[in-house]
Amino acid sequence: MQGISDSKAEMKRIKNKAKELSESIVEWRRHFHKYPETGRKLPKTADYIEKNLRNMGIEAESGIGESGVCGIIRGKGEQKKCLAIRADMDALALKEKNKLDYSSRHEGKMHACGHDAHMAMALGAASLLQDMREELKGDVKLVFQPAEEIVEGAKAMIEDGIMESPPAIDAIIGAHIGNLWGLESGEIGYRKGALMAAADRIEIEIRGKGGHGGMPHKTVDAICVGAELISSLQNIVSRNISPVDAVVISIGEFESGSAHNIIAEEARLTGTVRSLSEATREKLPELIENKVASVCNSAGAEYSFEYHHGCPVLNNHTEFTDYFVEIAREIAGADKVKEISSPTMAGEDMSYFLQKVPGTFFGLGTSDPDKGTDYPHHSPFFNVDEDVLWLGSALFSTAAYIWLKNN
């Protein structure tokens, strides 16, 4: 991209300033980690972010998408565009098992997916860019989003006008920290096109005929029907979908029965459906319901079926990702920038923003066995390597600064 080669001095300056800010970024991260909140109601998290933005002299507004926060850094360019930096805010309903000075103080809640680091890195970028606002050729919108884990926050903020409200967003960047793509600490992962899967949810209720456990021939066993259905659903993946088109159907809940000697009359199953192609995704509700109907009808059971669409496939914009890769190689070193060879079937509602405007979502590795930061996401022992948090802030702020300069 024109302008990157002649911006190396500016990029080096931002990198050095980000390193100097490292202690503050770690402090912010530890505060978020200590006081996790879940879902769409994040009053203390939102208040802490808003206060920090205002203390930096940044315009800030909360209550977007219920608990989301928006900060605006206004540049000085005449033909101004706006780049957004997005960070998710919510934690998980999980009891932390780490024994740290900053372990969760909220029982049964934990930042086990790195959102605490995302917010801290975004605050770091906010501080850096606010200090450079006289040099910015456009505006930066800081999007702190609730409810990523339940795939509601991005959509809620969009419905509340985050994309169009002045200044309207023209491009967006976000990141996921940790070891989601096998990245080692300090490595940066990128991928053009599909990076993360569409994530949908299914609910199935089976109604059979209950009875005595010793007289099964007089019943329609809802548990047997449900068990057969779980196995049969996998035939959709193996026989109805192209073997080169990734689809996952997983049943995560199976509730049925009331006693050891009673054949269950009803069963309830819920599950997740992941896909990487919108064309395939459109076929899945009918394929799944046909399978449910076939199994239930053959057993003499009745059923109800609901398919809930979640976030779409996360597709990174090719041109913007190419631009970001050049930035990342300059900031972190070419040897640290890795192309992600294949998508993950995990979902991420950053995809809603990337449907609206070009941008990219990248990975920042923090896996280091010597530091105990190699546990998987959503583990009660999950932690991140805080020594690389400054790098996330440097990448956010440099990408915004150079993009606005050249657009």
CATH code: domain of residue 28: 3.40.630.10
User: What integer pLDDT is reported at residue 98 of this predicted model?
Assistant: 98
pLDDT above 90 for 369: yes
Boundary of a domain, candidates 311, 328, 347: 311
Residue numbers annotated as active site? 90, 148
pLDDT above 70 for 2: no
Q: What is the dihedral of CA 257, 260, 265, 268, to 10 degrees?
A: 20
Boundary of a domain, candidates 294, 311, 328: 311
Structure tokens at 301: 């059971």
Claim to verify: residue 302 and residue 322 sit in the same structural domain: no
Claim to verify: residue 364 and residue 321 sit in the same structural domain: yes
Report yes or no: 225 and 301 within 8 Å, Cβ to Cβ: yes
pLDDT above 60 for 401: yes
Boundary of a domain, candidates 243, 277, 311: 311
Look at residues 327, 82, 312 and name the one whose alpha carbon lies nearest to residue 190: 327
Claim to verify: residue 304 and residue 340 sit in the same structural domain: no
Report yes or no: 140 and 81 within 8 Å, Cβ to Cβ: no
Claim to verify: residue 255 and residue 298 sit in the same structural domain: yes
pLDDT in tens, 86-112: 999 999 999 999 999 999 999 999 999
Claim to verify: residue 270 and residue 394 sit in the same structural domain: no
* Across 363-381, average pLDDT: 97
Claim to verify: residue 94 and residue 190 sit in the same structural domain: yes
Claim to verify: residue 60 and residue 131 sit in the same structural domain: yes
DSSP of 288-328: HHHHHHHHHHHHT-EEEEEEEEEE--EEE-HHHHHHHHHHH
Structural domain of 134 = 5-196+313-405
Between CA 202 and CA 269 the distance in angstroms is 8
pLDDT above 60 for 40: yes
CA distances to 53, 76, 333 from 73, in Å: 10, 10, 28
Between CA 320 and CA 140 the distance in angstroms is 16
Claim to verify: residue 186 and residue 324 sit in the same structural domain: yes
| Mean of the per-residue pLDDT values of the chain | 97
Strand order in the sheet with 359-365: 59-64, 68-73, 139-145, 82-88, 171-178, 359-365, 188-190, 337-339
Claim to verify: residue 140 and residue 170 sit in the same structural domain: yes
Between CA 204 and CA 225 the distance in angstroms is 12
DSSP of 363-383: EEE-B-GGGT--SPTT-TT--
- Which residue is it, tokens 């395939």? 280
Claim to verify: residue 180 and residue 303 sit in the same structural domain: no
pTM listed for this prediction: 0.95
What distance lies between CA 160 and its chain's CA centroid?
19
Look at residues 365, 362, 392 and name the one whose alpha carbon lies nearest to residue 187: 365
pLDDT band at residue 68 under the 50/70/90 scheme:
very high
Claim to verify: residue 202 and residue 191 sit in the same structural domain: no
Claim to verify: residue 367 and residue 290 sit in the same structural domain: no
pLDDT above 80 for 78: no
Q: How many domains are there within the chain?
A: 2
Cβ neighbors of 285 (< 8 A, separation 6 or more) are 307
User: What integer pLDDT is reported at residue 3 of this predicted model?
Assistant: 65
CATH code: domain of residue 278: 3.30.70.360
